[in-house]
Amino acid sequence: MKKITILIMSLTVFVGGCNFFDKNEKQVTVNADSESNSNPNSSLTATAKVIGSKNESYGNSYFQEEDNGVMMTLALTGLPSGTKGIHIHTVGKCEAPTFESAGGHFNPTKKEHGKLNPKGYHLGDLPNLEIGEDGVVDLTFLAEGITLQKNMENSLFDEDGSALVIHEAADDYKTDPSGNSGARIACGVIQ
């Protein structure tokens, strides 16, 4: 009797597990189909491994081409808490500890810095990160006006590439050239 009960419980768990995987598989398939139908360039993707000033890993950022920009997903851990400025910079180089090798902000339209600046904004200007005490960033947003398509205007993949840089302080969204966001504390080459 015990063997039959154990067998029935095992089959229940197995069948339930199969249903779980089938549901997820269908969901992924539906999402993949809807993305490929809505934007033929949605298959253009990139990543950036984000490192700190001592070459410690903070995680990854993911980039996907959309109709009016690039969807960015940040999956980061271990960052210092607080509000931090984040920008795309003009050079795909992240030399610790200062990351000055990443150059200035990505600004192919030759504007001033900041969404609140009447003369702005750089295409590399991004929304501030609000990082909790746990140091985790799990965020997705659209960076408008840029592209992952090589040899195109406003492409992140020009001759010297580009990088994602996180700063020590909040971006005030108006002060040129960098929003008073302070030193560069993390960087990831977009590849």
Q: Please identify every residue annotated as catalytic.
A: 87, 89, 105, 113, 122, 125, 167, 184
Q: Which of 186, 158, 159, 156 is nearest to 94 (CA)?
A: 186
Output the six-digit token pair for 155: 């492409």
With tokens 């984040």, the residue in question is 86
The CA-atom distances, in angstroms, between 83 and each of 52, 57, 92, 135 are 17, 20, 24, 11
* Residue 174: CB atoms within 10 Å: 17
DSSP label at residue 80? P
Q: For residue 160, how far is the Cα from the chain centroid?
A: 19
CA–CA gap between residue 81 and residue 132 (Å, rounded):
5
